[in-house]
Amino acid sequence: MRPGTRAADAILRPLSRDWAGLGIALLPAAAGARCVSRGAARRIPGGVLCAVALALGLGSLRHLVHVGRIQVRYPAPGRMVDVGGYRMHVLAEGDAGPRPTVVWMPGGHAGGYAMYRLHALAREQMRSVLVDRPGSGWSDPGPFPRTTAAEAVELLTALERAGEQGPYVFVGHSFGGLLMANAARRRPDLMAGLVLLDPTPPDAVAFGPALPALRHAPRDQTALALRHLFGLHPLAGGKETDTSDDPTQVLTMIELRTRASCAAASILRELSPDGITRDGWQTAVHDGELGSLPLLLVAPRDLTGGGEIFDAVDDPEESARVRHFFLTVRERFLAASSNGKRVYTPEGTGHDFPDRVPEFVVQVVGSLLDRCGPGARKPL
Q: Has residue 120 been placed in a domain?
A: yes
Residue finishing a domain among 57, 73, 89? 73
Spatial strand order in the sheet of 295-299 = 79-82, 87-93, 128-131, 101-105, 168-173, 191-197, 295-299, 340-344
| Nearest of 22, 65, 83, 77 to residue 256 by alpha carbon | 65
Regarding whether 276 and 176 lie in a shared domain, the answer is yes
Number of domains present in the structure of the chain? 2
Would you say residue 376 has pLDDT above 70?
no
Regarding whether 59 and 86 lie in a shared domain, the answer is no
Q: Is 252:238 a contact under the CB 8 Å cutoff?
A: yes
Regarding whether 96 and 69 lie in a shared domain, the answer is no
Whole-number pLDDT of residue 307: 60
Whole-number pLDDT of residue 1: 56
Confidence band, pLDDT 50/70/90 cuts, at residue 36? confident
Regarding whether 267 and 167 lie in a shared domain, the answer is yes
CATH number at residue 331: 3.40.50.1820
Q: What percent of the chain has pLDDT over 90?
A: 72
Regarding whether 96 and 157 lie in a shared domain, the answer is yes
Q: Has residue 331 been placed in a domain?
A: yes
Whole-number pLDDT of residue 237: 46
Q: What Å distances lie between residue 83 and 15, 86, 126, 139, 184, CA to CA?
A: 22, 6, 25, 11, 19
Mean pLDDT of all residues in 333-350: 96
Q: Which domain holds residue 344?
A: 79-216+263-371
Give φ, ψ of 196 to 5 degrees.
Answer: -110, 115
Q: Has residue 161 been placed in a domain?
A: yes
Point out the least confidently predicted range of 25-39, 82-96, 351-365: 25-39
Mean pLDDT of all residues in 279-287: 92
Q: What Å distances lie between residue 96 and 124, 287, 338, CA to CA?
A: 10, 31, 26
Residue 93, beta-bridge partner list: 128
Whole-number pLDDT of residue 44: 85
Whole-number pLDDT of residue 373: 62
Q: What percent of the chain has pLDDT over 70?
A: 92
Query: CA-CA distance, 171 to 366, in Å (whole number)?
Result: 11
Q: Has residue 228 been placed in a domain?
A: no
Query: CA-CA distance, 49 to 33, in Å (whole number)?
Result: 8
Mean pLDDT of all residues in 241-268: 87
Q: Has residue 333 been placed in a domain?
A: yes
Element (H, E) at 1: none
Q: Has residue 257 been placed in a domain?
A: no
Regarding whether 362 and 338 lie in a shared domain, the answer is yes
Residue finishing a domain among 73, 90, 114? 73
| Nearest of 145, 172, 174, 153 to residue 265 by alpha carbon | 145
Regarding whether 7 and 127 lie in a shared domain, the answer is no
Regarding whether 90 and 49 lie in a shared domain, the answer is no
Confidence band, pLDDT 50/70/90 cuts, at residue 47? confident
Regarding whether 95 and 66 lie in a shared domain, the answer is no
Whole-number pLDDT of residue 3: 61
Whole-prediction pTM value? Answer: 0.92
Q: Is the dihedral of CA 123, 156, 248, 360 positive or negative?
A: negative
Q: Is 361:88 a contact under the CB 8 Å cutoff?
A: no
Confidence band, pLDDT 50/70/90 cuts, at residue 321? confident
* HSE-up (13 A, CA, CB side) for residue 178: 28
Q: Has residue 25 been placed in a domain?
A: yes
Whole-number pLDDT of residue 238: 44
Average pLDDT, the chain: 90
Higher pLDDT, 379 or 357: 357
Q: What is the pLDDT of residues 201-229, one digit of tens each?
A: 999 888 888 877 788 899 999 999 999 99
Query: CA-CA distance, 71 to 51, in Å (whole number)?
Result: 30
Regarding whether 198 and 118 lie in a shared domain, the answer is yes
Regarding whether 130 and 59 lie in a shared domain, the answer is no
Mean pLDDT of all residues in 354-370: 96
Q: What is the pLDDT of residues 165-178, one digit of tens each?
A: 989 999 999 999 99
Q: Has residue 254 been placed in a domain?
A: no
Amino acid type, 79: R
| Nearest of 341, 289, 340, 298 to residue 182 by alpha carbon | 289
Q: Is 258:20 a contact under the CB 8 Å cutoff?
A: yes
Regarding whether 269 and 143 lie in a shared domain, the answer is yes
Residue finishing a domain among 27, 46, 73? 73
Mean pLDDT of all residues in 14-31: 94
**Radius of gyration over every alpha carbon of the chain, rounded to an integer in angstroms:** 23
